[in-house]
Amino acid sequence: MTKRDLIARIQEQLTEYPRKDVAHAVEIVFESMVQAMKKDERIEIRGFGNFTVRKRDPRRGRNPMTGASVDVPTRRFPFFKVGKDLKERVDRKKQDIG
């Protein structure tokens, strides 16, 4: 499923909203999350999961092509921790058992 499919699916369920507005709303949802992470803010979506910004230490790396040593600065990256409910739903084998 892509963002476009997601927008289409929402519109099937909430037919009273124009497609343009639904598409715009979906953009705002993800853009809000990007902006929050840029500010190092933690995002908590209950029932879905949490997004946090983690840091990787600076290190001395190597250019794999030339073997030249390069400094890799501290880098920030998003980390997603799946929520308990969704984790259980995704692991259907667990559901089969109980």
Partner 1 sequence: MTKIDIIQNVCDKLGFSKKDSARIVESVFDIMKDELARGQKVKISGFGNFVVKEKNSRRGRNPQTGAEIEISARRVLTFKSSQVLKKALNQK
CA-based radius of gyration for the chain: 20
Residue number with CB closer to partner 1 (17 or 62): 17
Indicate whether 15 belongs to the interface with partner 1 (CB under 8 A): no
CB 75 within 8 A of CB 54: no
Determine the residue type at 6.
Answer: L
Residue 70 CB, shortest distance to partner 1, in Å, is 16
Separation between Cα atoms, residue 23 and residue 15, nearest integer Å: 13
Residues that bind partner 1 (CB under 8 A): 1-3, 6, 9-10, 13-14, 17, 21-22, 24-26, 28-30, 32-34, 36-38, 41-49, 53, 75-78, 80, 82, 86-87, 89-94
